[in-house]
Structure 1
């Protein structure tokens, strides 16, 4: 029985003990850090764990319990699922399906929308939805080029469907696995593999129908399909050509020697000498009279250069996209240059760095011409801007560099659907391994974390995943986030903080029907998830939901399911879920576009999920 001891609406609240107040203070600080993000959220989670252990006499979290999150079955299972998803990704299965969809349904808007949403929702139930969306961004771009439908009309629905698809199975999201672990600890009832699949199907179909019928009318066309990348990123005013005069002090000096002394925002993108075009790295290149430089700079910096460095505007100073896409035979390095969009992945290690601290141009042999952050395009002082997850970089690079960026888990290359190095021959093996992992867990032959770990061994042994890829495929920020937050849920239970919050809910409910209370829990959790981590929402809300259900005589498991489903529907902001961030830049969305499309869907899902839980499990 809960510590509430059967508190009814209108009853006096249990006393606020120093232990409860301390836990609330830790929660408040953690939430503040989650929202403002002065440090990565996984670091915040580890800080929470340290605080709980250090204050053991009050939090009742001993050192073994504090670090127990690292050995939790939830943490181990999530880690294993990252590697299993990598095996599917490296096989090229989803890319192959995407290419087939682009070719088969690319001429019909309705068919392409249904096919794209079906792929996003269906696959996300069995592999991590982040790589699913990463794969689908270039697929959507390819379809948009064929049909003339703006990618803005497709990318956000893809993100939403990937979220909802994660609710088809236990392994669909890390949130499900964590909620199962908390449910097992509090109720002795972990989730089975297909525990809530029937409701997940209802929710997925509801979201799909809404996005197909209502979505197109609510989403604006932020990016035109006939725009070249130069126009799309507003580069017309920021790229120009200048000629080095014979009396210029730059003659005989390298590019670095000429530009470093000047505190101006300018990059030399190309150097044209006679009939030859040179691209990066241009820093060591010695300048000569008559050299034509293609500059990325603003008007003020350009005037400074013209005044100080003996440069003249070229006779035709308008730079077209074709000029930045160089032919192989005209370049010094026998390499073709292209313009391409590169999205910074939510799990990228370089988030928070700047182009300058990364030494991006030399490190990646690529030039960043602009950064798009949602609907805003940044041209000025780009080297000083800290990169954020979801930023879209307009990059000029060789095909070899673009291929390397495509393999780098820090980036998603837009417009490049296929790669020549996919292990397509491993598709049946990878599918078979995932199927066996799911079957063993579903039939309860072994626990899910055991079958998932066995799946890792099988993926590496069969060559679906290489040993070095096994470690790089894991989003370690999620692992540390889970490990750090699990002890917080324990502290809320042991100190009575969860029971106190539940008493507040019961006292405020005024005798409302349990179904309505269930719906309110869903809605509140969904709103909270939009500003903090979905995993943090589960850790904080499940203990409160369980105690509330017990206090009002409802089924605690139904309340656990409501919180679990709500934590995977962060549809009101781009920061609420990783996949929302991934499509933020490529779709050119405004911050409010998510609320415009997501708020009605959030309310619709509140009703559907609440009634679905009441129908399937009772309240």
Structure 2
């Protein structure tokens, strides 16, 4: 923990070498986050190490550098991931999904209403990232059965989850981190404090209603139908993949011209390259005759690729291993599924070869598509990034394994993979208990009980109220004791990328504050108060935070912007807490692209979206909510 005396040090006047060093580290962190040159969690650890090594300038000791791991925010987020996984493991959300399908029918208005009405409130009490991961196949299935393009529903699903995440303290990891940061800064700014569980529920409800109405009336009209309504949900709007097939020994295709071999398969596919002994051929393919072990690079739709996999003499290399005849016979009952790779997946930064995909998941990658289009390199050697979509052939057991793991988001409903439905009452009761321990007015209940019974000893009830971290950890233990989750499932329930990100950026926020860099930046922004009213300065912080979130991460933007916002508010004589809330809301609602918020990335492949689709729908929504949120903060908390 950081001693209270640290925060009593007045920020230095002018620019100091310490400030410049911290600004340089911050800039380097932003560049690494934007370029993804290193995985996000590795970047976070690099930030931590750099701050410690440069202690004479950053004022971050080794103890301070690793304090992010013991931060209440980090521990609380970790516990909330496990609690959310427990609810998901029971299949409760899938039951809700079936109710959505029954209600929505073929009416787009009802489909949108059901999507927003379920995703929003659920995300207020469960972490919104796993909520979207679970609902993507459900909503895709709703669209398919209702003859609606999934493109019309999946971005609204992601946006609604972000809006709903602002209903309570535990809706997003960003809220929890912002609360912890606000509590830490309260030593310097007395008007700041940790957020109560329902601190901003009233404003969050307004934001959810306004944003939901926008998505239902205007937003869906701005969304193109990237995926035709009559396309099976398995196609997920990905019209073009690139795949590789190897000419097997003894294949009847040997000796035939490469192009005629593809034409003879009877499917609509384009031969782009022939690879032989490491050499690539792209011209005169109609003249080159096939030899054993030649690799054909083919462009086609997912259905076509499935047909090519059945062509005699063409075999599919699975994670670097060729599929022989025995394997082919064993995979006749396998099905095609599309999976989206989230940024938290351990596959990010690996190749299909290095990840041993086939052995790990009992599934074979037919093809891969990146956020920018079909790949043009060897599949085995292509480095996977968050947002990539894999076309996978898997057995029933393999599909079940893919559905359970947090490594992927399946883009279609795969049925009920052995959910613990008998544990639904236990899981729901535990979540109610976690929320109740924090949210109930225990002091008031104690007063009422003592007054009604006259038993003074009942005043002990006033002490039942617990910190959200303690309450969440108690819920985790209870989940295991009740059998909702097994002990081994705790670790796979956690998005470790987020945990390491929090641990790495928290000390960066401390360095910004401790060296006076945050105060310097805050004073620079406060200079705008000379020609802008306080309300517009607040709006500037909201917009700036939203833009920063689009290029780094929501958690990183909160850590960077809250100290600056508090300093700026103090400099202009405004309410620092109002500025902290503006930063929190802006960081938790990223609508301009698929990168700023992971839920946006989850729906990118299944919706067949382009980057510009997010901007087209999200920019008006971001502008609308910036006005609604800033005015709401001013009215409810004052400036």
Using structure 1 for the length normalisation, give the TM-score: 0.85
Residue 511 of structure 1, CA deviation: 4.0
Matched, 1:156 2:139: no
Q: Which residue of 1 aligns with 2:545?
A: 525
- Look up the match of 2:439: 442
Aligned mates of 2:592, 2:505 — CA distance in 1 = 24
For 1:105 and 1:111, the matched residues in 2 are separated by: 5
Of 393, 396, 400, the match for 1:399: 396
Q: Equivalent of 2:202, from 198, 214, 235?
A: 198
Structure 1 residues not aligned, in runs of 5+:
6-12, 251-263, 269-290
The alignment status of 1:112 with 2:111, answered yes or no, reads yes
In 2: Cα distance, 1:310 partner to 1:91 partner: 47
Counterparts of 2:357 and 2:266, CA distance in 1 = 20
Give the superposition deviation at 1:397: 2.2
**Take 2:252 and 2:570, find their aligned partners in 1: how far apart are those partners?**
85
Pick which of 231-240 and 465-474 moved more: 231-240
Change (3 A) 1:190 1:366: same
Q: Secondary structure at the match of 1:33?
A: helix
Partner deviation per Cα, 1:441-483 (whole Å, 9 max, x = no partner): 1137111101111001000000111111101111111111111
SS of alignment partner, residue 406 of structure 2: coil
Per-residue CA deviations over 1:476-518 (Å, capped at 9, x if unaligned) read 1111111111111111111111111111112233242111111
Counterpart residue number, 1:376? 373
Unpaired runs of 5+ residues, structure 2, are: 1-6, 187-191, 275-284, 311-326, 443-464
2:218 matches 1:214: yes
Please say if 1:347 is aligned against 2:348. no
Alignment of 1:197-596 (within 5 A): 197-227=201-231, 233-234=238-239, 298-301=271-274, 306-309=289-292, 323=307, 332-333=329-330, 336-374=333-371, 376-378=373-375, 381-416=378-413, 418-443=415-440, 445-596=465-616
* CA gap 1:148/1:481 in 2 versus in 1, 3 angstroms: same
SS of the residue 2:343 aligns to = coil
Identify which of structures 1 and 2 has the higher relative contact order when contacts are C-alpha pairs closer than 8 Å and 6+ apart.
Answer: 1
Structure 1 residue matching 2:339: 3-state secondary structure = strand
Judged with a 3 Å threshold, the aligned counterparts in structure 2 of structure 1 residues 380 and 505 are, in CA distance, closer, same or farther, namely: closer
SS of equivalent residue, structure 1 residue 484: helix
CA contact 1:519–1:610 (8 Å) conserved in 2: yes
In the superposition, relative to structure 1, how do residues 581 and 4 fare at CA in structure 2: closer, same or farther (>3 Å)? same
Cα shift readout 1:243-270 (whole Å, capped 9, x = no counterpart): 98789879xxxxxxxxxxxxx99x99xx
Give the TM-score normalised by structure 2: 0.82
* 8 Å contact kept, 1:193–1:441: yes
Contact 2:80/2:127, CA 8 A, preserved across alignment: yes
Once residues 502 and 221 of structure 1 are traced to their aligned partners in structure 2, the CA distance between those partners, rounded to angstroms, is: 44
Q: Secondary structure at the match of 1:214?
A: helix
Stretch of structure 1 that moved more, 402-411 or 534-543: 402-411
The more displaced of 333-342 and 576-585 is 333-342
1:194 touches 1:442 (CA, 8 Å); kept in 2? yes
C-alpha contact 1:105 1:111 (8 A) present in aligned 2: yes
**SS of structure 2 residue aligned to 1:580:** helix
Q: Secondary structure at the match of 1:340?
A: strand
Tell me how far apart the structure 2 counterparts of residues 437 and 183 of structure 1 sit (CA, whole Å): 22
SS in 2 for 1:170: coil
Query: Are residues 124 and 551 of structure 1, via their aligned partners in 2, closer, same or farther at CA, if it must alter by over 3 Å?
Result: same
| Distance verdict in 2 for CA 1:245–1:332, change over 3 Å | closer
Instruction: Note if contact 2:237-2:606 (Cα within 8 Å) is conserved in structure 1.
Output: no
Alignment of 1:595-614 (within 5 A): 595-614=615-634
CA gap of 1:37–1:230, structure 2 versus 1, over 3 A, is: closer
Check 1:307–1:123 CA distance in 2 against 1; reply closer, same or farther (3 A cut). Answer: same
**Whole-angstrom distance in 2 between the partners of 1:490 and 1:580:** 29
The number of residues matched between the two structures is 570
Aligned to 1:48: 47
| C-alpha distance in 2 between matches for 1:297 and 1:396 | 21
| Deviation, structure 1 residue 108 | 1.8
When residues 230 and 418 of structure 1 are mapped into structure 2, their CA distance, relative to the original with a 3 A threshold, is closer
Change in Cα spacing, 1:297 to 1:62, as seen in structure 2 (3 Å) is: same
The answer (yes or no) to whether the contact 1:529–1:537 under 8 Å persists in 2 is: yes
